[in-house]
Amino acid sequence: MRNEQGDGPYRVVVNHDDQYSLWPADRENAPGWHDEGTTGDRATCLRRIEDIWTDMRPASLRERMDGPAREEAGGR
């Protein structure tokens, strides 16, 4: 059972748009979210999210915004 300070355990979850979140390890994931692979206390999971989620834009927005630039560069 989690304590009042929220020390966990938690896990890092990610959705289809590459958005990350903490989720209590003892609960089923919310629809549309799957495990990223990190489990631990709140601080550990938040550090992991900070390390991997460097572009806060949803994947769908990144694709729309970066698409024209990629096409102009010859698809690279």
pTM listed for this prediction: 0.70
Q: Tell me: the pLDDT tens digits for 22-40?
A: 999 999 999 999 999 999 9
Mean pLDDT of the 3-15 span: 80
Instruction: Give the pLDDT of residue 1.
Output: 45
Q: Give the residue, 6 or 47, on which the prediction is more confident.
A: 47
Residue 60: pLDDT over 50: yes
List helix spans (H) across the chain.
Answer: 42-52, 59-72
What CATH number belongs to 10-72?
3.90.820.10
- CA pair distance 48, 8, nearest whole angstrom: 15
